[in-house]
């Protein structure tokens, strides 16, 4: 949120001015004469959803909103450059006025989502909670109920009612609140740059993380609390249908960053892998891009009728009984294969391309290192890396771990199946 800094909006002979006082006078800052639009923009800063207030007072039509937003932001940047605005980034208050969209249930984690419904991708619908145990109607992979604790509901339920009822989920059970807003974004000047890629720029101060997505033109900034419990995405609403769909897709992927931070804080870690269900357990195929994760998962479906679980990611946690658990997530790469269920997790097959098929055991330290290298949970800080490493070291003690040097032929699936069967029969 932005506020005027030692400047007062006032009128002289019905002409609006922004005039200095206090320290601004001491530093010889000059005042500004404003037109009606400029005065209304300054007045809007007193309101939580400042641009929405300005748009309503100005009587803007939907067709005028995009251009008006650009002019609004440009004017505020001019004031900020002149020292007239104070950014409350270090005392950022996460907004709570956006409309309720729904509560996601991802394993035992609950994520409340607030913002206009047309901001959110349909990929979230299978995970919208009706209550703490059930999810909304969707076309997702369904495991046999006798084999797995499924969270799939009666398919006669309506998605709209799922959003209505998910608002009743106890606030005490909410692990994260995600808000999407068109409000004016905070200034994060003075924060520290932690990492920078073509897809993500990450800054931090003593209270928050600030995420910018250079390739996503309609997502202007995300502010994330350090414990991951709250995140606010500042967006520009496109009114063209195609651009709105692009915003939904971009926001779907951008939200994953915030979710994975919160999940990590709660003891849940994301593995880059393709997964199948076999003998009551989920098994993962993992390796660098191009090594055949999806191909091998599909070989198991073809050869052994093993259901596909997720085409790209696994959310894993340690259970008190000494096992590792798998939890389905909305994010599944380009595969479109996902589930909103949880199951025991059996192990990981690390793939390596080779002309012949061969299964190898790995030393414990190599098992942990390979698992650590395949986790996509954030490593923004030393503490995050240590959390990932501790999980990897503990998880491999409870899992079957193999390296499979392989080709893309059906024989590869039979070779690793024999190793998995031997492992299970020997337990």
> Which residue did the predictor score with more confidence, 91 or 80?
80
> Which residue did the predictor score with more confidence, 146 or 303?
303
Note the pTM of the prediction, 2 decimals: 0.74
Cα–Cα dist 360/338, whole Å: 29
pLDDT in tens, 8-46: 888 887 889 888 887 777 767 778 899 999 999 989 988
pLDDT reported for residue 87 = 53
Model confidence at 424, pLDDT cuts 50, 70, 90, reads very high
pLDDT reported for residue 3 = 64
Q: Quick one: what percent of the chain has pLDDT higher than 90?
A: 59
Asked whether 351 and 292 are in contact (CB, 8 A), the reply is yes
For the residues of 156-187, what is the DSSP string, one character each?
Answer: TS-HHHHHHHHTTS-GGG--EEEEEE-SPPPP
pLDDT in tens, 189-209: 778 899 999 999 999 988 899
Burial class (CB in 10 A: 0-12, 13-18, 19+), 426: exposed
Asked whether 413 and 304 are in contact (CB, 8 A), the reply is yes
Residue 301, C-beta contacts closer than 8 angstroms, at least 6 positions apart: 276, 307, 308
For the residues of 29-45, what is the DSSP string, one character each?
Answer: ---EE--HHHHHHHHHT
Handedness of CA 124, 118, 77, 21 (dihedral sign): negative
Strands 313-318 and 324-327: antiparallel
Cα–Cα dist 15/30, whole Å: 17
Where are the alpha helices (H) located in 305-409, listed in sequence order?
A: 364-374, 382-395
pLDDT reported for residue 240 = 80
pLDDT reported for residue 211 = 96
Dig out the tokens for 264 from the structure: 């990590």
Neighbour tally for 188: CB within 10 Å? 21
Asked whether 399 and 324 are in contact (CB, 8 A), the reply is yes
């Amino acid at each position: 949120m932005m506020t005027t800094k030692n400047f007062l909006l006032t009128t002289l002979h019905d002409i609006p001015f922004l005039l200095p006082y206090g320290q601004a006078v001491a530093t010889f800052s000059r005042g500004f004469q404003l037109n009606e639009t400029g005065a209304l923009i300054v007045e809007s800063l007193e309101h939580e959803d400042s641009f929405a207030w300005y748009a309503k007072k100005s009587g803007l039509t939907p067709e005028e909103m995009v251009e008006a937003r650009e002019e609004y932001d440009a004017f505020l940047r001019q004031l900020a450059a002149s020292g007239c605005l104070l950014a409350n980034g270090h005392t950022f208050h996460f907004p709570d006025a956006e409309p309720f969209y729904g509560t996601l249930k991802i394993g035992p984690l609950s994520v409340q989502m607030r913002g206009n419904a047309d901001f959110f991708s349909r990929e979230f619908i299978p995970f919208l909670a009706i209550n703490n145990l059930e999810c909304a109607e969707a076309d997702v992979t369904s495991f046999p109920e006798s084999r797995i604790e499924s969270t799939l509901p009666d398919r006669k339920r309506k998605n709209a009612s799922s959003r209505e009822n998910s608002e009743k989920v106890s606030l005490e059970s909410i692990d994260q609140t995600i808000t999407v807003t068109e409000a004016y974004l905070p200034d994060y000047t003075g924060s520290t740059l932690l990492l920078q890629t073509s897809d993500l720029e990450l800054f931090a101060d003593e209270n928050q993380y600030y995420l910018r997505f250079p390739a996503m033109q309609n997502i202007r900034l995300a502010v994330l609390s350090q414990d991951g419990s709250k995140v606010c995405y500042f967006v520009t609403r496109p009114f063209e249908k195609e651009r709105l769909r692009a915003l939904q897709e971009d926001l779907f992927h951008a939200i994953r960053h915030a979710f994975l931070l919160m999940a990590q804080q709660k003891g849940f870690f994301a593995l880059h892998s393709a997964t199948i269900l076999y003998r009551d357990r989920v098994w993962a195929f993992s390796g660098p891009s191009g090594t055949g994760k999806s191909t091998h998962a599909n070989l198991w479906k073809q050869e052994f009728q093993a259901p596909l679980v997720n085409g790209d990611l696994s959310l894993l946690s340690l259970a008190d009984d000494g096992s590792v658990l798998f939890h389905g997530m909305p994010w599944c790469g380009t595969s479109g294969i996902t589930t909103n269920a949880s199951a025991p997790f059996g192990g990981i097959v690390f793939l390596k391309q080779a002309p012949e098929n061969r299964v190898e055991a790995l030393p414990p330290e190599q098992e942990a290192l390979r698992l650590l290298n395949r986790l996509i949970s954030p490593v923004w800080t030393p503490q995050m890396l240590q959390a990932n490493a501790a999980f990897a070291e503990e998880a491999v003690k409870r899992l079957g771990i193999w390296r499979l040097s392989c080709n893309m032929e059906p024989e590869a699936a039979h070779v690793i199946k024999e190793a998995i069967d031997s492992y299970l029969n020997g337990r």
